[in-house]
């Protein structure tokens, strides 16, 4: 059983069942259609997007988390698709998603870049990527996220990882993140909304 399966195994929604605040603010920018949620965990963001009418697929390496994600959606009369997979090898396809959502998906740097470059190619022209994650400055706060520098990226790192997209919103900020027991308080985050260009790529 993985570390994440164990973390989720107690049955508690450790990041809550409410969606991420930044996603709530930005979700309307995703065109109607298919949305892929990376490292979706226990499904709070997938359920929110499904309620907004999107056709949502959540991918995560934790089978336990994704089972809870399906339960959360079903409890609201919604359907989501889930895929248990390691993002390091997951194939999202080419130009087939209107939206890709990455909320607190922290991967080792060597894996993060190829994963995000696959996501750039997986967006349809006009499709939108929404990302929020802790930055290395979060190590000072200790209010959530991995205490491992290699798993934390700056905006400059992510601009390179996501080369090929047009950045509509790209900032590093400090804000209150209160999302369940494991994300609790003032935090250093990076936020990105970026669009796949329409035309030759
Ligand atoms: C902090 S949780 C965030 C969950 C969800 N995005 C949310 O905001 O509620 C991080 C998630 O990343 C997943 N994860 C970590 N490494 C992964 C990998 N290599 N492939 C797929 N999922 C991974 C974990 O299983 C966990 O569910």
Least Cα distance to 35 among 25, 44, 45 occurs for 45
- The answer to whether the CB of 86 is under 6 A from ligand 1 is yes
**pLDDT digits over 143-170, tens only?**
999 999 999 999 999 999 999 999 999 9
Query: Would you state the pLDDT for residue 120?
Result: 98
Q: Closest ligand 1 atom to the C-alpha of 182?
A: 1
**pLDDT digits over 86-139, tens only?**
999 999 999 999 999 999 999 999 999 999 999 999 999 999 999 999 999 999
Percent above pLDDT 90 for the chain: 94
Ligand 1: which of 61, 68, 145, 179 to mutate, most ligand atoms within 8 Å of CB? 61
Nearest CA to ligand 1 atom 1: 104
Do 70 and 98 form a contact (C-beta atoms < 8 A)?
A: no
38: Cβ–Cβ under 8 A, 6 or more apart, which residues? 59, 87, 100, 101, 102, 105, 115, 119
- The answer to whether the CB of 132 is under 6 A from ligand 1 is no
- The answer to whether the CB of 92 is under 6 A from ligand 1 is no
49-70 average pLDDT score: 98
**pLDDT digits over 16-33, tens only?**
999 999 999 999 999 999
Do 41 and 60 form a contact (C-beta atoms < 8 A)?
A: yes
* Res 199 pLDDT > 90: no
- The answer to whether the CB of 40 is under 6 A from ligand 1 is yes
4-25 average pLDDT score: 95
76 confidence band (pLDDT: 50, 70, 90): very high
SS3 assignment, position 159: helix
Cα of 178 from ligand 1 centre, angstroms? 17
Q: How far apart are CA 98 and CA 123, in angstroms?
A: 6
Q: What angle do CA 12, 67, 82 make, to 5 degrees?
A: 130
Q: What is the mean pLDDT of the chain?
A: 96
Query: Would you state the pLDDT for residue 200?
Result: 57
Query: Would you state the pLDDT for residue 183?
Result: 82
Do 132 and 38 form a contact (C-beta atoms < 8 A)?
A: no
Q: Closest ligand 1 atom to the C-alpha of 42?
A: 9
Query: Would the pTM of this model clear 0.95, i.e. be above it?
Result: yes
Cα of 88 from ligand 1 centre, angstroms? 12
SS3 assignment, position 119: helix
Q: How far apart are CA 126 and CA 185, in angstroms?
A: 34
Q: How far apart are CA 110 and CA 108, in angstroms?
A: 6
């Amino acid at each position: 059983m993985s570390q994440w399966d164990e973390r989720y195994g107690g049955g508690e929604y450790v990041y809550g069942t409410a969606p991420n605040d930044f996603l709530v603010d930005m979700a309307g920018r995703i065109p109607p259609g298919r949305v892929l949620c990376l490292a979706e965990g226990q499904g709070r963001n997938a359920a929110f997007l499904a309620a907004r009418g999107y056709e949502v697929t959540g991918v995560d390496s934790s089978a336990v988390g994704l089972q809870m994600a399906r339960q959360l959606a079903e409890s609201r009369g919604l359907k989501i698709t889930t895929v248990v997979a390691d993002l390091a090898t997951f194939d999202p396809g080419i130009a087939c998603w209107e939206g890709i959502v990455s909320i607190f998906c922290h991967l080792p740097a060597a894996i993060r870049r190829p994963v995000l470059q696959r996501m750039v190619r997986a967006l349809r022209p006009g499709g939108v990527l929404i990302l929020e994650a802790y930055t290395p400055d979060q190590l000072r706060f200790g209010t959530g996220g991995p205490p491992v520098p290699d798993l934390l990226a700056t905006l400059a790192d992510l601009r390179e990882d996501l080369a090929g997209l047009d950045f509509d919103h790209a900032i590093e900020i400090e804000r209150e993140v209160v999302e369940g027991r494991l994300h609790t308080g003032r935090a250093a985050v990076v936020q990105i909304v970026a669009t796949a260009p329409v035309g030759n790529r």
